[in-house]
Amino acid sequence: MKLKIRYIFLCFLPLLFMACDSFIFENQDGIDMQTKGQDVYLSVTRAQAADTETINEDETNYEDRVHDLALLVFDSSTGEKVCEYFDEEISFTEKEKTFTVKMTSGQRDFYFVANMPIVALKTISTKSEMNNYMTTFSNLDTDLYLAATKDKGFPMSRVYLDQTISEGGNIYQPKPFRPVVNGTEESRVRLIRSVAKLEVVIDGASIGSGVKNIYYKNAYRQFSLLSEVYSATVGYYEDKPLKKVGNSYLYYMPEAMMVTPSWSTTDHKPINYFLIETLDGTFYEIPIITDNRTITDTDYLAFATGQNTDKPDYNIYRNRHYYYVIKKLQTIEVIYTIDPWKVKTSTTYMGYGYNVNVDDDGYVTVSNTVDVCAPHSVKLRTISPLTFDDGEKEKIFDTLEADASSRYKLNPTSQKGAYLEVYYNDNDNPVKTFSK
């Protein structure tokens, strides 16, 4: 058995969510925007956690689906709400959208919440109330243990504290919001799923034909929107078989934080594990662990069941992909690595009033984020030997409407190093150079 744990830092749990100019907020719902500081217009781009992961691209399991999004911003010192934004029933076709908000300059705390009921979020007026909301445990929708859907995505969130917001920007050219995390500036808001993913792959026809079912055991019933929060009481979801897709078995489980757990001889609670049932009536219990090392020996079960001096970490962390490949049931062999939970990746440049996005398949999308004023000319120039699929080396995008966009295909898509330059208006130097 090969085990991989793929971190999801998605839907950085990668977000690309942007609404159009109709979502520019001034004094919305009675919020007094006249706090200290000067007016600021910010354009916010959303992606999922996994560095540069896209939104609303997975048409099979909908693992990157975002259908509702809320943003609440508070003064870092006073806790007063200075801005809010709500976007409901987001179309699945909205894969790269930017929304613009108006607030005042100063130190600000940003709270992003996706795929949660918007009604409750609209009642929050202070940072204290927001923190209580973020740490409150809620039941995970039972459908989400097996799959997300187009209408029901995994709960996601992201918090950016003590962000310095300086004055500037306007409705037509808002300032890009680039949150700073541990001293590093990020280009987009990176949402993180509240759940983790388990994938069990049966490798080999002989073993595959001998597996009757795989069950998940001791899945936590509740989740919180903040990471690594310990619940005072633990409720468990009923044991369910994993969803079979080809030779893979899939399951999604809430983050599970445990206090000094140990592998018992009975029900093993609170430890999460999966149970393989064979056609001949044999059962194999496989504890799920989190470990940064690579495990290549054949005594995975000895380590995972706590028989060694070195004890395993049984916590299930959100936004990670726990990946097992089963080759032999009698002697479980494990190769253990850590990777992001990725759906599809892309790279986006945020200009003033427009975005340029390049995805894994070589498609380049230029889109406006607001109504722009002339002159507005975005020039794309390929770097030799790369061209667009029609043989041209340059494309010009100069449409002014907020919802305007154009899509082009690079040929070939595998070039290493610099491959595409972006020029804006009459500038002789590129504002962005894409490279691999």
The domain spanning residue 141 has which CATH number?
2.60.40.2580
Structural domain harbouring 399 = 351-435
Stated as kind and residue range, the H or E segment containing 223 is: strand 222-223
Using the 3D structure, point to which of 317, 340, 363 is the last residue of a domain. 340
Tell me which residue of 243, 155, 254, 148 sits closest to 195, measured CA to CA: 254
412 prior amide bond cis, ω within 30: yes
Domain co-membership, 58 together with 84: yes
The domain spanning residue 249 has which CATH number?
2.60.40
Residue that has been written with the tokens 């709400």 in this structure: 81
Domain co-membership, 301 together with 407: no
pLDDT in tens, 104-150: 999 999 999 999 999 999 999 999 999 999 999 999 999 999 999 99
Domain co-membership, 178 together with 77: yes
Q: pLDDT value at position 35?
A: 40
Q: pLDDT value at position 346?
A: 61
Domain co-membership, 186 together with 225: no
- How far CA 409 is from CA of 92, 353, 397, 423, in Å, comes to 22, 22, 14, 18
Q: Decide if 154 is inside a domain.
A: yes
Domain co-membership, 186 together with 200: no
Count of domains forming the chain = 3
Domain co-membership, 182 together with 242: no
Q: What is the pTM of this model?
A: 0.74
Band of residue 23 on the pLDDT scale cut at 50, 70, 90: very low
Q: Decide if 8 is inside a domain.
A: no
At residue 205, the 3 state secondary structure works out as: helix
Q: Decide if 6 is inside a domain.
A: no
Domain co-membership, 378 together with 323: no
Out of 43-52, 57-66, 268-277, which region has the weakest mean confidence (pLDDT)? 43-52
For the residues of 287-304, what is the DSSP string, one character each? E--B-SS---SS-HHHHH
The pLDDT of residue 217 is above 80: yes
Using the 3D structure, point to which of 308, 340, 372 is the last residue of a domain. 340
Q: pLDDT value at position 301?
A: 82
Domain co-membership, 205 together with 317: yes
- Provide φ and ψ at 211, rounded to 5°: -90, 125
Q: Decide if 422 is inside a domain.
A: yes
What does DSSP say about strands 106-114 and 69-75: parallel, antiparallel, or unpaired? antiparallel
Using the 3D structure, point to which of 284, 309, 340 is the last residue of a domain. 340
